[in-house]
Amino acid sequence: MGGAFGDILARARAGDEAAFACIFRDVQPALLRYLRVIVVEAEDVAGETWVQVVAGLAGFRGDERAFRAWLFTIARHRAVDAGRSRNRHPTVPLELSEAAEQPAPADAADLALEAVSARAVVALIKLLPREQAEIILLRVVADLDFGDVARIVGKTPGAVRVAAHRGLRRLAELAERAGVTQ
């Protein structure tokens, strides 16, 4: 959104639904892609995240980058909560839930058959170790710098940078195997 973000955010805080819709449309794809990598119930967690964002919008202070950092921090917390809740109540068989939602990573050859879409890339990133995948998505998709990512994941910026580099290298290897690259 660039320089217009401050005005849009102010309108949203004043109750302007259209302004909030602009923010939602700008952030929601990145949020969903991030959550699809770190949690099974991505859509549910995204909804909970937005509800919390709405509730805390009045108290938020900061620019667009700070807003994204705040929102993805909320999303990460909600994802952790969802994971804990799922572990406490494992009622759905794996083959009916998680495995059914990630067909692409299971068969990397499918990735080569379809156009390179964001979903396909997310599926590839999901094959990375969890920490590397999360850091790459926060850095690239959420457009946060290494310092913000480090604060969100609870690591030092240097460690985050190293993990991000390793993740990219591994991602290139996976893409080459899957034939996604040209």
Residues near other proteins (CB under 8 A): 12-15, 17, 20-21, 24-25, 28-30, 32-33, 43, 46-47, 50-51, 54-59, 116-119, 121-122, 124-125, 136-137, 139-141, 143, 164-166, 168-173, 175-176, 180-182
CB 125 within 8 A of CB 138: no
Q: What span, in angstroms and rounded, lies between the C-alpha atoms of 92 and 27?
A: 30
Q: What span, in angstroms and rounded, lies between the C-alpha atoms of 103 and 122?
A: 12
CA distances to 17, 87, 119, 132, 177 from 127, in Å: 37, 21, 13, 10, 12
Distance in Å, CB of 86 to other proteins, minimum: 20
Q: What span, in angstroms and rounded, lies between the C-alpha atoms of 20 and 172?
A: 36
Distance in Å, CB of 180 to other proteins, minimum: 7
Closer to other proteins by Cβ: residue 91 or 133 = 133
CB 128 within 8 A of CB 20: no
Closer to other proteins by Cβ: residue 44 or 93 = 44
Closer to other proteins by Cβ: residue 23 or 76 = 23
Distance in Å, CB of 102 to other proteins, minimum: 15
Distance in Å, CB of 90 to other proteins, minimum: 25
**Residues whose CB falls within 8 Å of the CB of residue 112, separated by 6 or more in sequence, listed in order:** 178, 179, 180
Closer to other proteins by Cβ: residue 43 or 107 = 43
Distance in Å, CB of 95 to other proteins, minimum: 23
Closer to other proteins by Cβ: residue 91 or 156 = 156
Q: What span, in angstroms and rounded, lies between the C-alpha atoms of 138 and 69?
A: 9
